[in-house]
Chain A
Amino acid sequence: MTLAFAGGTHRTVPLDLRERLAFSADQVAEALRRFRDRFPGREVVLLSTCNRVELYAAGGADSAAPSPGQIVSFLAECRGIDERVLAPVLDGDRDEAVVRHLFGVASGLDSMVLGEPQILAQVKQAWAVAQDSRTAGPLTGDLFQAALRTAKRVASETALGRERLSIPSVAVNDFARGVFERFDDKRVLLVGAGKMARETLRYLREAGARDIVVLNRTAARSAELAAEIGGRAGSLADIVAELAAADLVVSTTGASQPVVTLDAFRQAEPRRGGRALVVLDLAVPRDFDPRIGTRPGVWLTAIDDLAAACDANRKSRQREVPAALAIVDEEARRFMGDLHHRSTAPVIERLRAGWSETGDAELERLFRRLPGLDEAARDEIRQAFERYAAKLLHPPLKSLRTASHSGPPHGLLDALKRLFDLKD
């Protein structure tokens, strides 16, 4: 049984080429169908995300998986790209290296953002598409199941994916949640309607925020966003009144001067009744005067602070890599041991069949000689024969299993074939 893969990621393939190489969902199904026609009897799974395109192939004893070079040619042909352009930037490998690579990919160890969890869902999806297209089989099934199991172990036994890395998620989960226990009774004030504001709002809504007010220089833009998120639109001219009522502010305007000065905040402060205020100032340059952060009860976090927290988290994830790699290594060795053992199955089957045939013939002869035996006695004798055969077969099968852990047990298999005259 052989495994092979070829593909490219953000590490080696330039963005423009990656865009041309990427497969849409329909194109994946079409490529799988073409692969099945081109390489009959082989199993294949195609993983295509915005950062990677990889094709995993598996073959049985009589139909080996295509080589990485053949896979590169196939990918080039499918996407209409010159193979000479593609080949230098794609990687490929065979057998155990494929297993390690896929396990690492599924665990997020090969991702652009180390430990990101989305890749696991994408790997699962790629396998599901291959199953639907009937190009996945028992070998790729075992391989991908083992990859998902490895990824789950890495996620639960290491802190690789624990710390958040995106600024909005750190802003909400590490800072806003540090101040507030719940968000369903809090007023969220969105100043500006940029992409970062929307992303931050997504996390806040997940945390339960419902009462949202959008302020923007353009009234139409704030009305549009407010309608989209089920909030209320307001005018930037009312910012002091809105600050007095807000519990959490997310500010992302493109203003060149602070939108909220210390004086403006001081006007709102007496009307706040001592309530805590979280300000996530995600704008560059800053929308809030930094001195506001020194006011009692105000928790002002600027984008640079969040970026520094993200960097610290990234370093923390990096420290988890050796532990994650150890899990990948352990699971890969276990998978390869099972795979090698599986390659001994035909020989074991023939061995069992041969012994069974001989046993049945002997039993038949014995029963003819002893016609007085009732059915219960015959069953007893049959079971005794089966137990005897199983006990005799146990030591060689155990040796085969043990030898499988360190590679394909070709020597033992040849010996068994010659000793018991097993024909292919």
Chain B
Amino acid sequence: MGEFVAGISVVCFAASYLVALACEGSRLLFRSGIRGAAMVAFAAAGLVAHTLFLGWRAAHEPAVPLSSPFDWYLLAAWLLAGAYLWATLANPRTPVGLFLLPVVLGLIGAAEISSREPFPQSPATQAWGAVHGVFNLAASVAVAVGGTAGVMWLLQAGRLAQHRAAAPGLRLPSLEKLAGTLRWTFPAAASTAAAGFVSGLVLNAVNHRRGLLDTIPWSDPVILRLGALVAWLVVAAAIAQAVRQRPGAARTSAFLAVASLVCLTASILWGVLGHSRHGVPPDAPSPPPARVRP
């Protein structure tokens, strides 16, 4: 059993999600009696493999979830894959996977080109590091869910505005349901992102006091981009709240949610492809800008 679990690679669950995505895409082309079952089976198999992979790393590597960029992205993908499976089981005729699975695969792709080296840890920084990672993770998941709901809202609204009947393979959730999802994702994303940012500052302060950092790296690109992202999410949440009672509030929220997802994607790409000493002790050599694993 242990050997089997150790043999699970990122490719295993990424391929399962990819097949589930292909099944979702085929809804637009033809009808099938077994596709639903196949789709759920592949997504579930992928999620199980994904869980075992993360569990194995936590048990056998010095890499509990969130302890490296690689693990962080994989955990975010795992949460979104779970959300996809739940949404598909709850609404089998709604092709949520067409919108959510590309985000899952994108995060897995980001993990693959991210560093697997764990962030430096000490007993004091480990707790703050975990808080920082968990809040950032929650914010990213909320932004991803909100962004996909926003895309679906705009597509559904576009169809209704053009007075087109719903395509058989692309029956999206109602605007009311999507607006309900958007309503909670804004405060959730803004509050958790802010908490993640503040806990990151506290982590730096603790490191500085313990002599692990010479100075707090205020100009670090990661801190700057995360600060910008947090500011954007707070502003977006404030706008969404301010226009809540106005006609067309849902459309504004949908655009803001999609823009937030674009900002998050840009931030992730910047982090993955850019050059930063974020989470690296001062005496350690600079990490390479990106690491593409075989």
A178 x B247 contact (CB < 8 A):
no
Q: B150-171: which have CB < 8 Å to A?
A: 156, 159-161, 163-166, 168
A313: Cβ under 8 A from any B Cβ: yes
Q: A158-178: which have CB < 8 Å to B?
A: 158-159, 162-164, 170, 174-175, 177-178
Residue of B nearest to A158 (CB): B31
Q: A118-171: which have CB < 8 Å to B?
A: 156-159, 162-164, 170
A residues near B247, Cβ cutoff 8 Å: 269, 272, 274, 295-298
B residues near A174, Cβ cutoff 8 Å: 165-166
A301: Cβ under 8 A from any B Cβ: yes
A383 to chain B, nearest CB (A): 43
A282: Cβ under 8 A from any B Cβ: no
Docked complex Cα distance between A159 and B172 (Å): 18
A170 x B177 contact (CB < 8 A):
no
Number of interface residues of A (CB under 8 A): 35
B residues near A158, Cβ cutoff 8 Å: 31
Q: B176-228: which have CB < 8 Å to A?
A: 176-177, 180
B residues near A309, Cβ cutoff 8 Å: 163-165
On chain B, which size bracket covers the interface?
A: 20 to 34
Residue of B nearest to A297 (CB): B247
Listed residue (B245, B246, B247) with the most chain A CB atoms within 10 angstroms of its CB: B247
Residue of A nearest to B166 (CB): A174
Q: Which of B164, B175, B245 contacts A273 (CB 8 A)?
A: B245
B163 x A178 contact (CB < 8 A):
no
B214 to chain A, nearest CB (A): 52
Residue of A nearest to B165 (CB): A309
Residue of B nearest to A309 (CB): B165
A203: Cβ under 8 A from any B Cβ: no
Q: Which of B165, B174, B245 contacts A312 (CB 8 A)?
A: B165
A274 x B245 contact (CB < 8 A):
yes
A residues near B19, Cβ cutoff 8 Å: none
Docked complex Cα distance between A179 and B166 (Å): 12
Docked complex Cα distance between A269 and B245 (Å): 12
Taken residue by residue from 274 to 288, chain B's Cβ proximity to chain A (1 for < 8 Å, 0 otherwise) reads as 000000000000000
A305: Cβ under 8 A from any B Cβ: yes
B251: Cβ under 8 A from any A Cβ: yes
Q: Which of A159, A305, A306 contacts B31 (CB 8 A)?
A: A159
B34 to chain A, nearest CB (A): 11
B residues near A305, Cβ cutoff 8 Å: 163
Whether A181 contacts B177 in the complex (CB less than 8 A), given A163-B168, A174-B166, A309-B165, comes out as yes
A296 x B251 contact (CB < 8 A):
yes
Docked complex Cα distance between A313 and B166 (Å): 10
Taken residue by residue from 136 to 147, chain B's Cβ proximity to chain A (1 for < 8 Å, 0 otherwise) reads as 000000000000
A residues near B82, Cβ cutoff 8 Å: none
Docked complex Cα distance between A132 and B33 (Å): 36
Docked complex Cα distance between A164 and B166 (Å): 10
B33 x A156 contact (CB < 8 A):
yes
Q: A293-315: which have CB < 8 Å to B?
A: 295-299, 301, 305-306, 308-310, 312-313
A180: Cβ under 8 A from any B Cβ: yes
B residues near A164, Cβ cutoff 8 Å: 165
A276 x B164 contact (CB < 8 A):
no
Docked complex Cα distance between A313 and B164 (Å): 10
Docked complex Cα distance between A316 and B30 (Å): 12
A residues near B248, Cβ cutoff 8 Å: 274, 296-297
Taken residue by residue from 248 to 292, chain B's Cβ proximity to chain A (1 for < 8 Å, 0 otherwise) reads as 111100000000000000000000000000000000000000000
Whether A274 contacts B164 in the complex (CB less than 8 A), given A157-B31, A178-B159, comes out as no
Q: Which of A178, A301, A306 contacts B166 (CB 8 A)?
A: A178
A163 x B33 contact (CB < 8 A):
no
A residues near B174, Cβ cutoff 8 Å: 177-181
B239 to chain A, nearest CB (A): 14
B173: Cβ under 8 A from any A Cβ: yes
B244: Cβ under 8 A from any A Cβ: yes
| A-B contacts, 27 listed (Cβ < 8 Å) | A157-B31, A158-B31, A159-B31, A163-B168, A170-B165, A175-B160, A175-B163, A178-B156, A178-B172, A179-B160, A179-B175, A180-B174, A180-B175, A180-B176, A181-B180, A269-B247, A272-B247, A274-B248, A276-B175, A295-B247, A297-B247, A297-B248, A297-B250, A301-B160, A305-B163, A310-B165, A312-B165
Closest 7 CB pairs of A and B: A296-B248, A305-B163, A297-B247, A309-B165, A296-B247, A181-B174, A181-B176
Other A-B contacts than A274-B244, A274-B249, A296-B247, 19 sampled, CB-CB below 8 A, are: A157-B31, A159-B168, A170-B165, A175-B163, A177-B174, A178-B172, A179-B174, A179-B175, A181-B173, A269-B247, A273-B245, A276-B250, A295-B247, A296-B246, A296-B248, A297-B248, A299-B161, A308-B163, A309-B163
